[in-house]
Amino acid sequence: METIRLTTAKAIVNYLIAQKSVQVDGSIAPLFGGVYGIFGHGNVTALGHALEQAKTELPTYRGQNEQGMALAGVAYAKAKRRRQIMVATSSVGPGATNMVTAAGVAHSNRLPLLLISGDSFTSRLPDPVLQQVEHFGDPTMTVNDSFRAVTRYWDRITKPEQLTTSLPHAVQTMIDPADCGPAFIGLPQDVGAEAWDFPVAFFEERIHDIARPRADERQLREAAAMLTAAEKPLIICGGGVHYSLAEQQLADFATAHNIPVVETVAGKASMRWDHPMYGGAIGVTGGESANALAGEADVVVALGTRLLDFTTGSWTIFQNPSVKMIGINTARFDATKHHSHAVVGDARETLVELSSTLGNYRASDAWSTTAATEVAKSNAYIDKLAAATSTSETGLPTYAQVVGAIDRKADEHTFALAAAGGFPGEVNNGWRTKHLNSFDCEYGFSCMGYEVSGGWGAAMALPDKDVVVFVGDGSYLMLNSDIYSSVIHGHKMIVIVCDNGGFAVINRLQINTGGVPYNNLIKDNPTVVNPVAVDFAAHAAAMGALSESVASIDELEAAYDRAKAADRTTVISLVTDAYSWTEGGSFWQVGIPEVSDLQGVRDAKAEWDEGLNDQRIG
């Protein structure tokens, strides 16, 4: 057997370079698009050295914060529809734990990300080393064990030869449509520098194509029987539609069988907003059209969705007492939720095969007419909210107006991105999909701070797109340093910062559940003695971005035109209303005190308890 002597770190890099993948257009590209790296004593001497030697084949992008660079990797993978993966590497200790949040984002969103962190010496002779957290009763435990809870694959390499089994397993986990998620490799400082005679064959090029598991024929027949008996069937499409490249098949299926389609946050942009079968956004961050349809539906097809509580209204949204669920998913865990009839298979192929099994079945025209009527009402509502001439009680622009202004200017080059806070409800309703796969709102983990870092990752993945980041002041202040990353690496994005004085959407929940406004808006915290307004434009300019502040929707539209024509990242900030939100969402179960001195809290508790009467059990 021919061998080559390499360090463990160099072997990792060479193996990653050898992996290729089939892209959406059928071309072949590197499976790993690059590495986000912040070096420290745990990774700079061995892995950093190996990356420098491979800088042409596997480029390293310098992040500013480990969480941010890993979040960029999550957004990159989503924009690439899981066909390409980024690596994020950190040193020992705080650098590693900074990436745990991003791993949680990747895990909950079923997205691939390879995390490689430095670790303590396997010999333990120099212990405790810098940044090592000691566990008195378990010397094998390090902070890297915290990744176990938020990764699909976890390993700590204690001998170089372990790579020959560990790396293939990590790669297969990340590209498996059912188990897809982040993988973690812990690389102790001594092991990373150790050498071994690796088989040359281990580094031969390998081309990966995403598997398309087919559903069992019996599962298909039973699903078809359920649908043909349905009078009001409904499809809920999730992120799995994007990753299966099933958008066209979804449209064909819905049209052929006259079944309305509603979207989750992750599934948005699976169907054009003006498609005759499009029913709107569903759930807590959804609108009245989709939620009304869900309330009447007698058979619901959950297509590529994990059925988050924000999709199901904490399982209150399905009001028909005889409603039945069909779960179509590559992951058995998701397909079987809430006693669904499970059809375990690839979304695209399952739709084609299920359509064939259904034959000439079509839902009634009365049902599709109902859907069209509900959609028209929702569109009229959004039109009114998003109009540039609309005014809030404070006279300030609203989130709905900001989204509407950019939506009106969107073209085939526009890619919208948001996360957490108040924007999911606004973009989920107000962003009208004119072009498929043009949207990313991270809501699986609802991670504040994803927006700017995710925008950087999306801009890397989609260099021909105008990546538009919608972010509130709260998320911006949490994590914004990747504005600088985007500038120095030449990955342009347009960041729109809406300043509503704090965490306004949680303030809304606090008020709506009878609480007293406290600690969410800056002005509502009595410990704040100097409520300074942040100059977001000046802050962004200090990081090398172009920037400006605007005061109206008309000024925003003009500033957007300038940003679109600019040659680098531009940040546009404006003060927005903290109390005006798009309504129409569903019930959402939260914990409200059973005992309180406030009548408003007692009233809210009674109202929420009443809402639980509609909750589907099982």
User: ∠ CA 290-292-296 to the nearest 5 degrees?
Assistant: 115
Angstrom distance (rounded) from CA 155 to CA 164: 13
Sign of the torsion formed by the C-alpha atoms of 91, 95, 101 and 105: negative
User: ∠ CA 111-114-115 to the nearest 5 degrees?
Assistant: 120
Asked if residue 211 lies in contact with residue 177, where contact means CB atoms within 8 angstroms, the answer is: yes
- Buried residues in 235-264 as b, exposed as e (16+ CB within 10 A): bbbbbbbbbbbbbebbbebbebbbbbbbbb
Contacts of 192 (CB under 8 A, 6+ apart): 7, 8, 9, 43, 45, 46, 47, 118, 157
Asked if residue 118 lies in contact with residue 73, where contact means CB atoms within 8 angstroms, the answer is: no
Angstrom distance (rounded) from CA 127 to CA 352: 59
Angstrom distance (rounded) from CA 408 to CA 135: 56
Domains with residue ranges and CATH for the chain: 3-208 (3.40.50.970), 217-377 (3.40.50.1220), 387-575 (3.40.50.970)
Give 10-residue mean pLDDT values along the chain (618 residues): 97 98 98 97 96 98 97 98 98 96 98 97 92 93 97 98 98 98 97 98 98 97 98 98 98 98 98 98 97 98 97 96 97 95 98 97 98 97 91 91 97 97 96 97 97 98 98 98 98 98 96 96 97 97 98 97 98 97 93 96 94 88
Angstrom distance (rounded) from CA 486 to CA 493: 8
What integer pLDDT is reported at residue 392 of this predicted model?
86
What integer pLDDT is reported at residue 616 of this predicted model?
87
**Phi/psi of residue 443, nearest 5 degrees:** -135, 0
For residue 79, give the nearest of 113, 54, 119, 35 by alpha carbon.
113
**E strand residue ranges, 353-511:** 414-419, 439-442, 466-472, 494-499
Reported pTM: 0.97
Angstrom distance (rounded) from CA 236 to CA 375: 15
User: ∠ CA 589-594-599 to the nearest 5 degrees?
Assistant: 100
Asked if residue 73 lies in contact with residue 450, where contact means CB atoms within 8 angstroms, the answer is: no
Q: How many residues does the structure list for the chain? A: 618
Angstrom distance (rounded) from CA 42 to CA 157: 14
Q: Work out the angle between the directed axes of helices 399-409 and 365-386 (0-180°, nearest 10).
A: 110
Angstrom distance (rounded) from CA 379 to CA 386: 10
Angstrom distance (rounded) from CA 275 to CA 380: 16
What pairs with residue 571 in β-bridges?
Answer: 495, 547
What pairs with residue 115 in β-bridges?
Answer: 88, 184
What integer pLDDT is reported at residue 175 of this predicted model?
98
What integer pLDDT is reported at residue 617 of this predicted model?
84
What integer pLDDT is reported at residue 389 of this predicted model?
85
What integer pLDDT is reported at residue 388 of this predicted model?
85
Asked if residue 311 lies in contact with residue 236, where contact means CB atoms within 8 angstroms, the answer is: yes
What integer pLDDT is reported at residue 238 of this predicted model?
98
Structure tokens, 205? 């090029």
In the block, tokens 């992951």 appear at 331
Angstrom distance (rounded) from CA 36 to CA 456: 12
Contacts of 240 (CB under 8 A, 6+ apart): 110, 177, 246, 267, 303, 304, 305, 329, 330, 347
What integer pLDDT is reported at residue 567 of this predicted model?
96
In the block, tokens 């598997």 appear at 211
End-to-end CA distance of the chain: 56
Q: Side chain identity at 610, as an amino acid letter?
A: E
Q: Is 307 left (phi over 0), alpha (psi -120 to 50) or beta?
A: left
Angstrom distance (rounded) from CA 171 to CA 206: 11
* DSSP H or E run through 349: helix 347-358
Helix (H, G, I), strand (E, B) or coil at 472: strand
Angstrom distance (rounded) from CA 175 to CA 75: 16
What integer pLDDT is reported at residue 391 of this predicted model?
77
Asked if residue 17 lies in contact with residue 57, where contact means CB atoms within 8 angstroms, the answer is: yes
Question: What's the DSSP call for residue 551?
Answer: -
Structure tokens, 36? 């986000």
Q: Side chain identity at 537, as an amino acid letter?
A: A
* DSSP H or E run through 34: strand 32-37
